[in-house]
């Protein structure tokens, strides 16, 4: 996976992820898309992408999360997804499992509700998007995963709801990535 391949594949990924966001009904909410994330299967690919992204942005976080390095790169020129701009890219180094496909994997949306656990986040999301009740109850073909990943230095709890279907993932969390990074310095 090269940087140029990522850039070339962004329009198709962006269209597919927007369609999935519409299917979920999240496009009707005023959610900020604070970053998009990649998946790579080798340290060599991650190292090369780290160098490539350093030429088009600034690494604003290099943190250990769940035992592996995860970088957040603030881009000099944001990615465009419809009318939204995405300022940051998450580059996780590979973990134990290999991904069937390297490249763009998910976007993360911020539901600014102050939730500090998955139950609170779920309740806040359902208040704004009641159509998601059957999805969250496991009654559709969309997979749902609730988690509370935390970096070694993070002080801000940031629960996450991940919606997965057809190799795509949309995550909703309660705090933006820059707020989470800022909490590391506190």
Averaged pLDDT, groups of 10, the chain, 186 residues long? 92 96 93 93 94 95 86 96 92 86 93 91 96 96 86 67 95 89 73
Tell me the CA end-to-end span of the chain in Å, nearest whole number.
36
The helix/strand/coil state of 176 is coil
The pLDDT value recorded for residue 157 is 76
* Beta strands across the sheet bearing 168-173: 57-65, 68-81, 84-92, 32-39, 103-110, 168-173, 160-165, 143-147
Going along the chain from its start, the domains and CATH numbers come out as 3-184 (3.10.180.10)
Report the predicted TM-score, pTM, of the whole model to 2 decimal places. 0.90
The pLDDT value recorded for residue 148 is 79
The pLDDT value recorded for residue 22 is 95
The pLDDT value recorded for residue 87 is 95
Helix (H) or strand (E) holding 30: none
């Amino acid at each position: 996976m090269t940087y140029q391949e990522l850039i070339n594949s962004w329009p198709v990924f962006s269209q597919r992820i927007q369609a999935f966001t519409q299917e979920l009904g999240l496009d009707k909410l005023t959610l900020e898309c604070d970053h998009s994330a990649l998946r790579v299967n080798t340290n060599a690919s991650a190292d090369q992408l780290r160098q490539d992204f350093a030429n088009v942005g600034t690494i604003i976080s290099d943190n250990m999360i769940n035992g592996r390095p995860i970088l957040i790169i603030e881009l000099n020129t944001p990615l465009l997804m419809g009318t939204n701009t995405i300022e940051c890219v998450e580059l996780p180094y590979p973990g134990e499992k290999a991904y069937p496909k390297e490249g763009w994997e998910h976007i993360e949306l911020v539901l600014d509700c102050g939730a500090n656990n998955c139950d609170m986040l779920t309740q806040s999301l359902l208040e704004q998007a009641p159509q998601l009740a059957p999805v969250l109850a496991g009654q559709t073909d969309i997979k749902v995963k609730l988690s509370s990943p935390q970096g070694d230095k993070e002080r801000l709890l940031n629960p996450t709801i991940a919606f997965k279907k057809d190799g795509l993932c949309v995550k909703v969390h309660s705090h933006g990535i820059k707020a989470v990074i800022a909490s590391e310095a506190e």
